[in-house]
Amino acid sequence: MSEIKDSLPVSPVKVACCQLAPKVGYKQNNLDKTADFILRAAKDGAQIIVLPELCSSGYVFESRAEAASLADAYDDGETTTLWQGLAKDLGVYIVGGFAERSAATLFNSAAVIGPRGRMGLFRKVHLWGDENLFFSPGDLGFPVFATEFGTIGVGICYDGWFPEFYRTCARKGAELICVPTNWVPIPGQDPKREAMANILTMASAHSNSIYIVAADRVGMERGQLFIGQSLITGYTGWPVAGPASPNEEQILMADIDMASARKARRWNDFNEVLRDCRPDAYR
C-alpha cells in the first residue's frame, strides 16, 4: 500500500523552473545570477522555485581540488546562506543544486529551503560520468519535505533515469518532484523529437501521477554542451510549461494543485497506480 498522506493540507501553488547558464569557477557571479532569477520568479508570483544542478559552482571541473574549492557546507555555506535569506525575505521555497562539502567528503547536492529556513538536503544518488572522480554517492536516500502546499521530493539529473527514484518519492507521499539537472546530448537523438530527458520526465510523471519540475542549464562549458529544454510536467505526464529553449536562459512558470496529483492516482474503479504495484511478481 502506498504511503499517501491524505491529511496533509494542500492548496494551489505557482512553481517556477529557472533555466540559467552558470560558469565553472565563477562562484560569486553564479550566486548573483541565482539571486536575480529567484527575485524575478518571486516578483511574478512563484512560491516554489527550482534551480539547476551545481548552479553555484558550475559543472565541468578540471580536478577534485577545483571542485572542493567551489564547494561549501549546507549548514553555513555561502550558497545556502544566500538562498535562505532570499527565501525568508520573499516568502518562497527554493530547491537548488550546489557542490556540498561535508568534512572531507564532497557531494553533488540540492538544498531545500523555505521561508522559515533550511528544511533539508538531498545528495545525488546516481553519479554520472566524471562526477565519480569528484563526488561520493548520496547517502541520504530520497527524503521528502512537507510544505503547506503538499509534499516535495528531490532528485538530481541522472537519478531521473531510475524509475525507483520517482516511485520511492511518490510512495513517501510526494506530489511534486523537483529535479535540478544538467542534461547533456544523448547519442542518436533525433533533433526533430523531444529530448530523451523530456520523454523520461513525462513518462515518470504519468506513471506515478506526480508533478515534476526539471530545471536544466544551458551553454557550453569546457567543451561540454548542455541542452536546456527544462520543463514542468503535470501529473498526467504532459507538459504544463515548456520545454524551454535549448540554448537561452529562461524562467518557466505554472500554476499547479498538488492535491490533484494525489487524487488522480486512482485511475478508475479498479486501478490506483501506486497500489497496483506487484513487487512479488518482479523478483
Domain-wise residue ranges, the chain: 12-281
pLDDT band, residue 1 (cuts 50/70/90): very low
Contact partners, residue 276, CB within 8 Å, separation at least 6: none
Catalytic pick among 124, 131, 169, 178: 124
pLDDT tier, 11 (very low <50, low <70, confident <90, very high otherwise): low
263 among known catalytic residues? no
- Name the architecture of domain 12-281: 4-Layer Sandwich (3.60)
Whether 97 and 52 have beta carbons less than 8 Å apart is answered as yes
Amino acid 47 reads Q
For range 226-230, the mean pLDDT: 97
In angstroms, the Cα distances linking 197 to 110, 115, 204, 215 are 19, 31, 11, 11
Q: Indicate the average pLDDT of the chain.
A: 94
pLDDT at 197: 96
Residue 98 has pLDDT above 60, yes or no: yes
Catalytic one of 27, 33, 53, 169: 53
The Cα–Cα gap between 84 and 229 comes to 27
- Please say if 18 is a catalytic residue: no
DSSP 8-state symbol, 165: H
Given 18, 55, 157, 178, the catalytic residue:
157
